[in-house]
């Protein structure tokens, strides 16, 4: 009985399951272009990003396996639409974030989101 309760308690405290591959799909998104844009917007200045050139300085969280994350900035449920909004105006979603507004266009946000969410 005690073992059953311990297992149930552990399951209740575990992280939410990662979204499935369908949920990570960004309609009309181009992940290859997204990777090029990550370099153009210099995202790897603050983040370690698989496939992107790096300068070694990392003040933001690593973005590998981003598609498996449940939340953006620890607060916003991760998904295609929310991630695109985040990329276009992070302070609108989390006012105290240190993520700068980089002036990302809606089209660029779509493709960057496609790249980030493609990393399970």
Tell me if 31 sits within 8 A of 111, measured CB to CB. yes
Distances (CA, A) of 76 to 33, 51, 70: 25, 25, 8
Would you state the pLDDT for residue 3?
Answer: 45
Count of CB atoms within 10 A of residue 89's CB?
Answer: 14
pLDDT tens digits, residue range 63-72? 999 999 999 9
Domains of the chain: 18-117 (2.60.40.420)
With tokens 């090029």, the residue in question is 36
pLDDT tens digits, residue range 26-47? 999 999 999 999 999 999 999 9
Tell me if 102 sits within 8 A of 109, measured CB to CB. no
SS3 category, 77: strand
Would you state the pLDDT for residue 20?
Answer: 60
Tell me if 83 sits within 8 A of 111, measured CB to CB. no
Kindly report which listed range (2-6, 51-55, 91-95) carries the lowest average pLDDT score: 2-6
């Amino acid at each position: 009985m005690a073992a059953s309760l311990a297992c149930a308690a552990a399951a209740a405290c575990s992280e939410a399951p990662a979204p499935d591959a369908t949920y990570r799909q960004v309609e009309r998104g181009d992940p290859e272009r997204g990777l090029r844009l990550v370099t153009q917007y210099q995202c790897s200045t603050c983040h370690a990003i698989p496939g992107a050139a790096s300068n070694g300085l990392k003040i933001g969280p690593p973005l590998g396996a981003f598609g498996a994350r449940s939340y953006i900035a620890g607060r916003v449920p991760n998904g295609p639409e929310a991630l695109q909004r985040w990329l276009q105006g992070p302070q609108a979603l989390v006012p105290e974030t240190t993520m700068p507004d980089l002036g990302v266009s809606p089209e660029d946000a779509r493709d960057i989101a496609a790249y980030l969410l493609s990393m399970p």
